Chains A and B, each alone.
Chain A
Amino acid sequence: QKEVEQDPGPLSVPEGAIVSLNCTYSNSAFQYFMWYRQYSRKGPELLMYTYSSGNKEDGRFTAQVDKSSKYISLFIRDSQPSDSATYLCAMSVYGNNRLAFGKGNQVVVIP
Chain B
Amino acid sequence: GAGVSQSPRYKVAKRGQDVALRCDPISGHVSLFWYQQALGQGPEFLTYFQNEAQLDKSGLPSDRFFAERPEGSVSTLKIQRTQQEDSAVYLCASSPTSVGTQYFGPGTRLTVL
Contacts and interface: CB of A to CB of B under 8 A. Distances in A.
Contact of A88 (B42, B99, B105): B42
Interface in B6-58: 31, 33, 35, 40-45, 48, 56
Interface in B93-113: 93, 95, 98-107
Q: Which 5 A-B pairs have the closest CB atoms?
A: A101-B42, A43-B104, A98-B45, A44-B104, A43-B106
B101 A95 contact: no
Interface of B: 4, 31, 33, 35, 40-45, 48, 56, 59, 91, 93, 95, 98-107
A104 B105 CA distance: 18
Given A43-B105, A44-B104, A45-B104, A103 B42 contact: yes
Interface of A: 4, 6, 8, 36, 41-46, 49, 88, 90, 95-104
Interface of A is mostly: strand
Nearest to B45: A98
